[in-house]
Amino acid sequence: MNHAHQVLIVGGGLVGASLAIALDRAGVDTGLVEATPPESMPAVFDERNLSFAEATVNALTALGVLQKLQMPPGPIRRIHVSRQGDFGRLRLDAADYGREQFGQVVVARDFGQALESRLGELSHLTRYRPARFVGLEPEADGLRIARIAGSEGEQRIGAALVVAADGTASAVRAALGIDTLEHDYRQDLFVARLRTARAPDGSAFERLTDSGPTALLPRGDRHYGLVHGVDRDAADAVAALDEAAFLARVQTAFGWRAGRFEAVGPRSRYPLRRVVAERSTAARAVLVGNAAQTLHPIGAQGFNLGLRDALTLAELVADGGDPGAPALLAAWAARRHEDRTRTLAFSDGLARLTANPSPLLRPLRSAGLLALDADRGLQAMLAGGAMGYRGDVPALCRGAAA
């Protein structure tokens, strides 16, 4: 064995890096296995627009990450939801709940640079990069051994707890023999920066259609973050459209609530699949973020849910004792159960219902939107979920001091 840590995180993306920062503040000796070299950024830190719930903003501020953003985030003060072809709409205003905002929009690239800056300040972190996870050895003497391969050849790294934060196609999850439940939505998502005739005013829009959502997220640079879902069979043709034709397509799908669409930046394309691990713990191992659950992006729940996975784990580990003890992992799974179950059900149910073209569902959906827009109690439940307050919420998400 080359080294040993209290916790070894495999994956240096959004959730893995955030977990490393949270563990460092508790003085936990942590290793972080990252696929990219020091001068590069993981592919996940691209032009995608991340919608941070209020709970996420609270936590990342307490951890000293958001202060390092180079571009100001865009506040989400209002949320507007409608569906093409249906009557009714849902409107939520943060001011109605005594809040200035529901959350913030941050560009993934900028967030990645902020995380990198914060990681460079940690004193209890060892970074293995570039390194590739090769496999796991059985638990022995209170440690789990991970094999990683890098520029120095293969190393055996021990840890009381191994954390899989290595994404949807998690190699750690596969090595643990944990199966997944998968659903292909047969949709592709196009993501880009969008300029409109009117600058964003803090309103976030979600326009639902048979072929997926079209969302506009208010960025901090006077642009919107565009998310446009299309049927898989049409995705190649959409990808081939020039800027004018693409803008016309998105304007038709979305409508004119945000004014005329004037320009769109480079487009990225992602297939939409739901991948949920059948269990999220094993002997001295735990799955967090997309390794545990990859969601449909409707409602922007994915990273927010994964961060709550990580921060709950950091909270329990910080209390002391053996980080990989069965009792600690059982406590973590119990604390995460309600949030995870409710968020998965919300995301998947909304994605399937709103994309179903059956004319029989149209009056039901319209009645549902009208009822939601009129019922303050139901709206409050939705607003709480949108702000990241489901189940047993980590203290940092509730605004506790770092």
pLDDT at residue number 323? 97
pLDDT at residue number 360? 42
Core vs surface per residue 161-179: b (16+ CB within 10 A) or e? bbbbbbbeebbbbbbbebe
Query: Does pLDDT of 286 surpass 90?
Result: yes
Hey, how many other C-beta atoms are within 10 angstroms of the C-beta on 183? Answer: 14
Report residue 184: phi and psi, to 5°.
-95, 120
Q: What is the mean pLDDT of the chain?
A: 87
Query: Does pLDDT of 382 surpass 90?
Result: no
Judge contact between 203 and 80, C-beta under 8 A.
Answer: yes
Query: Does pLDDT of 88 surpass 60?
Result: no
Distance of CA 87 to CAs 81, 82, 93, 204, 347, Å? 11, 8, 20, 19, 22
Helix, strand, or coil here: 304? helix
pLDDT at residue number 401? 56
pLDDT at residue number 245? 97
pLDDT at residue number 61? 96
pLDDT-derived band at 362 (thresholds 50, 70, 90) equals very low
165-174, 205-214, 217-226, 303-312: which range is least confident on average?
205-214
Mean pLDDT of 374-399: 73
Query: Does pLDDT of 370 surpass 70?
Result: no
Mean pLDDT of 134-159: 93
Q: Provide the whole-model pTM.
A: 0.90
Domain topology for 3-75+101-181+273-355+392-398: FAD/NAD(P)-binding domain (3.50.50)
pLDDT-derived band at 25 (thresholds 50, 70, 90) equals very high
pLDDT at residue number 359? 47
Provide the token pair at 28. 């936990």
Closest CA to 213 of 347, 45, 351: 351
Using CA atoms in the order 173, 174, 176, 178, what is the torsion angle rounded to 10 degrees? 80
4-13, 137-146, 243-252, 341-350: which range is least confident on average?
341-350
Hey, how many other C-beta atoms are within 10 angstroms of the C-beta on 195? Answer: 17
Q: How far apart are CA 92 and CA 77, in angstroms?
A: 8
57-66, 160-169, 178-187, 275-284: which range is least confident on average?
178-187
Query: Does pLDDT of 365 surpass 50?
Result: no
Q: How far apart are CA 187 and CA 238, in angstroms?
A: 12
Report residue 261: phi and psi, to 5°.
-85, 125
Which residues, 6 or more positions from 137, have their beta carbon under 8 angstroms from its beta carbon?
144, 145, 146, 147, 156
Q: How far apart are CA 87 and CA 275, in angstroms?
A: 32
Among all chains, which residue has been given the structure tokens 């029989």?
360
Instruction: Identify how many contiguous H helices and E strands the chain contains and give both numbers.
Output: 10, 20
Q: Model confidence over 101-113: pLDDT tens digits?
A: 999 999 999 999 9
88-102, 341-355, 388-402: which range is least confident on average?
341-355
Backbone angle region of 312, left / alpha / beta, with phi > 0 → left and psi within -120 to 50 → alpha = alpha
Percent of the chain at pLDDT > 90 equals 63
Q: How far apart are CA 258 and CA 49, in angstroms?
A: 18
Query: Does pLDDT of 246 surpass 80?
Result: yes
Of residues 123 and 184, which shows the higher confidence score? 123
Provide the token pair at 20. 């490393």
pLDDT-derived band at 300 (thresholds 50, 70, 90) equals low
Query: Does pLDDT of 150 surpass 50?
Result: yes
Backbone angle region of 258, left / alpha / beta, with phi > 0 → left and psi within -120 to 50 → alpha = alpha
pLDDT at residue number 48? 82
Judge contact between 288 and 165, C-beta under 8 A.
Answer: yes
Judge contact between 55 and 304, C-beta under 8 A.
Answer: yes
| DSSP letter, residue 205 | E
Among all chains, which residue has been given the structure tokens 């750690």?
172
pLDDT-derived band at 311 (thresholds 50, 70, 90) equals very high
Q: Model confidence over 35-55: pLDDT tens digits?
A: 998 888 777 777 788 999 999
pLDDT at residue number 367? 47
In DSSP notation, 42-95 reads -TTSSS-EEEEEHHHHHHHHHTT-GGG-SSPPEEE-EEEEEETT-S--EEEEGG
Hey, how many other C-beta atoms are within 10 angstroms of the C-beta on 287? Answer: 24
The residues with which 150 forms a beta bridge, in sequence order, are: 131, 153
